[in-house]
Amino acid sequence: MTENRNITDDRRVIDDVAQSADVPVELTVPARADRLQIVRAVVERTLYAVDWTIDDVADIQLAVDEVCSQLIVASVDDGRLRVSLLLGDAGFVGEVVGTIETGIALDTAGFGWHVVETVTDAQSVSYVDDARRREVTVRLAKLLSGTRPR
């Protein structure tokens, strides 16, 4: 059974995990489908380097992949994806930032987002609009096994 939390609780979990984190691993790539494999590789290698399990690595890769894919599809022509990976004693926080057309929102009701919610412990999406573009920031958290939100 999945526990339902509101967005405030998710942000608190994300902030708690981020506070335990070291310096982030950061990557910026053009928002194009052919760059997704680079993001996948960096996520995988970063998590394996700190001894995350194969199942947890697969979960995080799946979540980051879904977020990046949605941002790529909606991206402005010269868009970029900025991916930050924070790893700490409590777990993982990933942040993906992209620029999309004004008025477009990520699909947080579809199957892909349901998968993101299933494989991570907390998620948040925020938007900052200007006249021509919309910056989207997605934050995801996954707790280390045995760690639960306060």
CATH number, domain with residue 48: 3.30.565.10
- 68 found inside a domain: yes
- 84 found inside a domain: yes
The number of domains in the chain is 1
- 21 found inside a domain: yes
**pLDDT band for position 1 (50/70/90)?**
very low
CA distance 5 to 100: 27
- 42 found inside a domain: yes
pLDDT over 50 at 145, yes or no: yes
pLDDT tens for 16-55 read: 666 666 768 999 999 999 999 999 999 999 999 989 999 9
Task: Over range 71-90, report the average pLDDT.
Answer: 94
Q: Supply the pTM of this predicted model.
A: 0.85
* Owning domain of residue 15: 7-143
- 36 found inside a domain: yes
CA distance 134 to 126: 10
